[in-house]
Amino acid sequence: MAILLSVFALQIPLSRAAGRCESLLQLSLPSVVITSATVISSGTFSELPSEPASGKTHARLPPYCRVVGVSTPVSKSTIGFQVWLPLQGWSHRLHMVGNGGYGSNIYYAQMSARIRAHDTAVATDTGHRGDTLAFGIDNPEAIVDWGHRAVHETLMAARGVAARFYESPPRWSYFSGCSTGGMQALSEAQRYPADFDGIIAGDPGNNRTGLTLSFLWAFQHNHRSGDDVHEIVPSAKLLLVHKKTLEACDALDGVRDGVINDPRLCHFDVQTLRCAREDNEQCLTSEQIEFFHAMYSGPRDMRNGHSIYPGFPPGSEGVIVDPGQPLPGWSEYWANPDRPREPQRVDLLRYWAFHDGNWDWRQFDWGAAVDAVSARIGPAVDATSPDLAAFRTRGGRLILFMGWEDPVGSSLEAIEYYQQVVEQARGESLEARRAATLAFARLFMVPGMGHCAGGPGATNFSTATRDSTPPISDARHDMAVALQDWVEHGVAPDTLVATRYVDQSQRAIAFQRPLCAYPKSARYVGGDSRQANSFRCVNPLSSGGNP
């Protein structure tokens, strides 16, 4: 292996690299066909016409071998994947990047970041093409592929490809993803604990059935019976409540910076905005107040009042992640943007759960139907088991992160899941179970972050998840490097430094904040509020907020 690595370090001629790369076309792996293997030496990669970001170019790439293949582990399963293999200076790491939504698109920006770090970069199309849920109609195997099998099978293929190309298997395997990628991450830790040494699960949509029902809950509560057109709460009222909530709770961490540091400490009451007379832009009607209460409480089982999915915390109502976004906060996901007269993702219920194109979501039974949805699709798509014993025993390390202002999935869902993991840990006391969990899994809550990235807070802290590039790629500023340090050197991350830029493209730093391992969060202790070292990690819910 030392001879091989030294040859690669000497930058072998591209003609020789091309032959080594092309030989992968003859690679024999179970249920796998390699369809192309090409050396990319131009330093750039342009996304293909069939990709959502067609024409987007990724630059500053070292020479690499780009492998495209298909895995067919079962009938009706067609899992597309890509493996990018750097030609020089291989880190001996394989790093797979996750997906988003229900789309088949590959995040090439994250693939490019892994190649720049000299990792073998891996991704999958999750077993289908397109971004609608139609792929699951009468095709349960495609749902299983999307839910969890595509990641596992892609990893198996990628390991074989890397071992053949480098004549040595990867020493470490990592996975990073956000949203659906976060679901994939937790599914791996739960279902396939031997797959990855280190996992990053961001804003995970792991309670997929509960999340889908929360979209339905929001739509039903924001429309009067029989009226699917007119919203009870327009987007402008979301901005109003968000503004008033921020005014009331911004300074709770000791500094006013446009960010609610920990919404659990925010007790702003929307009742204070009740209209004295007629409805206007600066007040809420009784009907609108009821809607906000429904969103803060989350969907409930009407048989017993039990929570189906956590409600949203204050501060997530009207968050603006990007100045150009058309809808603020919750309004991005409370209706289907292509069919605004129906709830977001209702096709999952229509086609996957009830197998009926004429199924009427308006008549949903918030009792027996909840059980039916969970029983029919939960086993394939949910990743909610807190039992991570096998992953922990094997030596796996898990980092979760969640944006406090995520308007898509409730940030409280990540906390509830992590607390369930703590409850499963060994230990006679809560502190012992927390310590046992911190030894292999840590959660970082990100103030002022929307869904996966962006928002008014310091949200740049990872080269491995989308739109979150830090100013420095080291273990203090880059979650991907911090995970590597934890896996490879046993150095667990207590804090990370997150950055907010004045301008995302120019990378001028506006301010930085420490991200603290849960249950701690940052509190201002004095000094320049733009500096991360002016904050201290404390437990905000403990007596006196002691560290």
Mean pLDDT of the chain: 93
Look at strands 93-97 and 64-71 and give their pairing.
unpaired
Please give the distance of CA 83 from its chain centroid, rounded to a whole number: 21
Q: How far apart are CA 408 and CA 182, in angstroms?
A: 13
Is 179 catalytic? The answer is: yes
Residue 109 phi/psi, 5° resolution?
A: -60, -40
Among residues 318, 258, 317, which one has the least CA distance to residue 456? 258
Write out the two tokens for 354. 């009830």
Q: How far apart are CA 302 and CA 364, in angstroms?
A: 11
The helix or strand, by DSSP H or E, that contains position 81, with its residue range, turns out to be: strand 79-86
Give the pLDDT of residue 54.
Answer: 57
> What is the pLDDT confidence band of residue 542, given thresholds at 50, 70 and 90?
low
Cis amide leading into 519 (omega within 30): yes
Give the pLDDT of residue 225.
Answer: 93
Whether the model clears a pTM of 0.85, i.e. scores above it, the answer is: yes
Which residues are CB-neighbours of 393 under 8 A, at least 6 positions away?
none
Write out the two tokens for 524. 């201002």
**Count of residues for the chain?**
547
Cβ atoms of residues 244 and 236 within 8 Å: no
Q: How far apart are CA 396 and CA 70, in angstroms?
A: 28
Sign of CA dihedral 270, 274, 279, 285: positive
Between 53 and 187, the more confident residue is 187
Look at strands 198-202 and 397-403 and give their pairing.
parallel
Q: How far apart are CA 1 and CA 162, in angstroms?
A: 13
Residue 458 phi/psi, 5° resolution?
A: -85, 105
For residue 155, the SS3 value is: helix
Tell me whether residue 90 is exposed, middle or buried, using C-beta atoms within 10 angstroms of its C-beta: 0 to 12, 13 to 18, 19 or more. Answer: buried
For residue 60, the SS3 value is: coil
**DSSP secondary-structure letter at 300?**
B
Give the pLDDT of residue 504.
Answer: 74
The helix or strand, by DSSP H or E, that contains position 399, with its residue range, turns out to be: strand 397-403
Is 406 catalytic? The answer is: yes
- List the catalytic residue out of 95, 118, 152, 451: 451
Give the pLDDT of residue 50.
Answer: 64
- List the catalytic residue out of 179, 331, 462, 534: 179
Mean pLDDT, residues 119-147: 95
Looking at the DSSP bridge assignments, the partners of residue 511 are: 500
pLDDT at 510 over 50: yes
pLDDT at 9 over 60: no
Among residues 218, 233, 232, 230, which one has the least CA distance to residue 364? 218
| 180-191 vs 150-166: helix crossing angle, rounded to 10 | 80
Give the pLDDT of residue 8.
Answer: 42
Among residues 528, 493, 496, 530, which one has the least CA distance to residue 512? 530
> What is the pLDDT confidence band of residue 297, given thresholds at 50, 70 and 90?
very high
Cβ atoms of residues 386 and 437 within 8 Å: no
The helix or strand, by DSSP H or E, that contains position 376, with its residue range, turns out to be: helix 368-381
Mean pLDDT, residues 15-42: 93
Which residue is associated with the tokens 């709460």?
A: 233
Distances (CA, A) of 46 to 59, 63, 295, 443: 9, 14, 41, 35
Percentage of the residues of the chain whose pLDDT score is greater than 90 = 87
Q: How far apart are CA 186 and CA 98, in angstroms?
A: 11
Mean pLDDT, residues 51-74: 88
Among residues 479, 473, 508, which one has the least CA distance to residue 496? 479
Give the pLDDT of residue 540.
Answer: 83
> What is the pLDDT confidence band of residue 353, given thresholds at 50, 70 and 90?
very high
Among residues 110, 136, 106, which one has the least CA distance to residue 123? 106
Give the pLDDT of residue 13.
Answer: 60
Percentage of the residues of the chain whose pLDDT score is greater than 70 = 95
- Residue 331: other Cβ atoms inside 10 A: 23
pLDDT at 462 over 70: yes
pLDDT at 545 over 50: no
For residue 416, the SS3 value is: helix
Among residues 402, 409, 249, which one has the least CA distance to residue 329? 409
The beta strands (E) that lie in 16-73 are given as 32-40, 45-46, 57-58, 64-71
Q: How far apart are CA 547 and CA 543, in angstroms?
A: 10
Among residues 171, 168, 173, which one has the least CA distance to residue 192? 173
Mean pLDDT, residues 340-366: 95
Is 131 catalytic? The answer is: no
Cβ atoms of residues 215 and 343 within 8 Å: yes
